[in-house]
């Protein structure tokens, strides 16, 4: 039996290496093609490909010279871009898109492995195959085209949920904090720390986030908050944005109506989370966490609701945020049968 398992593991490793190698060659050919941007007909909005990346890349260059950023990205994100500013912009863009592909793989791996229905080794092979398939999807090609990094935030979120299910609390705290610092909206997932490990750890997560926001000093933090508030209050009329605010503006509804709809979405999530938290606490043994091990079916449902809120609430939301829904869908599909029978 052991030799059979060994042969299977060697075969799985061979499949993994083949898929990753094939994907790497495909990727660098794809993003290096002069026709890449023509696939999306976005010239009237953004011109050449890599527009999002170029915006943050140039803002990081400005910050490197001691000036304030002109984009509403958290300080840690801007700091992460700075090493790339020492490279040629096209080379930096290609390396950055490779990091986005790696983030997609990690998101899929952590989502598949979280339930423990699939072993970590098999999860790696399945994640590689799914990465190769999803790589060619519209939403991911669009993210590569723009040089956007929402999948990085989703990958960090998936890692945080994975370690939360493995009871590696401080790793979960770190990854969920990094996700919130990369893109603000994954901060919504921090509430799972409150239900899983309690108020003390949740406050530690908040403190870590505050510290990371101050990584470049109070001046850059205040500038980030100013830009965030400014852009969140803008009615984005571009047809590529599908946020509640943009949809309401295009359909003739008021800014107030769209804001109210967004607040209602947040309240629905908050109400569901509070109901779940109260029920789980009532069912738990005093002095012990409400749940151990993998995420419960109720928690996975809450992740799905949170992903809907994170997709719709920001004033500028594009198709590359569909990776959020890939996370919640895979978490749901990997629940063992007994979870559904118990519910």
What are the extents of the domains in the chain?
12-37+46-342
Higher pLDDT, 265 or 49: 265
Mean pLDDT across the stretch 50-75?
Answer: 87
Angle in degrees, CA 264, 266, 271, rounded to 5: 90
Cβ atoms of 303 and 114 within 8 Å: the answer is no
What is the C-alpha to C-alpha distance for residues 128 and 98, in angstroms, rounded to an integer?
14
Mean pLDDT across the stretch 257-282?
Answer: 76
287, pLDDT greater than 80: no
237, pLDDT greater than 50: yes
pLDDT of residue 317: 80
H or E segment to which residue 177 belongs = helix 169-182
pLDDT of residue 87: 93
Lowest mean pLDDT among 98-102, 114-118, 165-169: 114-118
12, pLDDT greater than 80: no
Q: How do residues 81-95 score in pLDDT, each as one tens digit?
A: 999 999 998 889 989
Tell me the angle at which helices 255-283 and 297-312 cross, rounded to the nearest 10 degrees: 170
Residue closest to 99 by CA, chosen among 112, 86, 83 = 83
Instruction: Report residue 2's pLDDT band, with 50, 70 and 90 as the boundaries.
Output: very low
pLDDT of residue 213: 92
pLDDT of residue 139: 84
pLDDT of residue 285: 45
Instruction: Report residue 27's pLDDT band, with 50, 70 and 90 as the boundaries.
Output: low
202, pLDDT greater than 80: yes
pLDDT of residue 4: 42
pLDDT of residue 17: 74
* pLDDT, mean over the chain: 81
pLDDT of residue 146: 85
Lowest mean pLDDT among 177-191, 201-215, 253-267, 280-294: 280-294
Lowest mean pLDDT among 73-77, 109-113, 287-291: 287-291
Lowest mean pLDDT among 19-28, 61-70, 139-148: 19-28
Cβ atoms of 343 and 297 within 8 Å: the answer is yes
Cβ atoms of 257 and 244 within 8 Å: the answer is no
Distances in Å between the alpha carbon of 206 and those of 29, 162, 199, 285? 42, 19, 10, 26
Q: How do residues 314-325 score in pLDDT, each as one tens digit?
A: 777 877 788 888
Mean pLDDT across the stretch 161-187?
Answer: 93
Instruction: Report residue 198's pLDDT band, with 50, 70 and 90 as the boundaries.
Output: confident
284, pLDDT greater than 70: no
What is the C-alpha to C-alpha distance for residues 210 and 202, in angstroms, rounded to an integer?
13
């Amino acid at each position: 039996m052991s030799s059979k398992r060994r042969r299977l593991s060697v075969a799985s490793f061979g499949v993994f290496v083949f898929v990753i190698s094939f994907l790497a060659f495909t990727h660098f050919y794809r993003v290096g093609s002069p026709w890449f941007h023509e696939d999306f007909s976005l010239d009237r909005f953004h011109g050449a490909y890599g527009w999002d990346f170029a915006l943050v890349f140039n803002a990081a260059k400005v910050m490197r010279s001691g000036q304030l950023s002109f984009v509403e990205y958290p300080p840690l994100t801007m700091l992460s871009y700075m090493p790339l500013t020492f490279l040629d912009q096209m080379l930096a863009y290609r390396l950055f898109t490779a990091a986005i592909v790696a983030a997609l793989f990690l998101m899929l791996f952590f989502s598949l492995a979280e339930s423990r229905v699939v072993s970590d080794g098999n999860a790696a092979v399945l994640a590689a195959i799914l990465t190769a398939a999803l790589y060619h999807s519209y939403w991911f090609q669009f993210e590569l085209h723009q040089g956007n990094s929402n999948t990085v935030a989703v990958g960090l979120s998936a890692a945080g949920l994975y370690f939360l299910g493995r009871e590696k609390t401080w790793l979960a705290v770190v990854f969920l904090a990094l996700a919130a610092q990369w893109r603000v909206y994954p901060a919504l997932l921090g509430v799972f720390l409150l239900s899983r490990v309690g108020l003390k750890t949740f406050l530690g997560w908040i403190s870590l986030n505050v510290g990371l926001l101050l990584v470049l000093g109070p001046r850059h933090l205040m500038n980030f908050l100013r830009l965030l508030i400014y852009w969140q209050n803008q009615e984005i009329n571009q047809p590529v944005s599908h946020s509640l605010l943009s949809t309401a503006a295009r359909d003739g509804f008021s800014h107030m109506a769209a804001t109210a709809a967004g607040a209602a979405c947040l309240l629905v999530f908050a109400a569901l989370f509070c109901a779940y938290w109260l029920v789980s606490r009532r069912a738990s043994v005093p002095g012990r966490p409400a749940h151990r091990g993998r995420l419960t079916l109720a928690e996975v449902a809450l992740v799905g609701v949170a992903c809907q809120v994170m997709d719709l609430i920001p004033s500028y939301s594009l198709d590359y945020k569909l990776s959020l829904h890939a996370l919640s869908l895979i978490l749901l599909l990997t629940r063992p049968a007994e979870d559904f029978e118990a519910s």
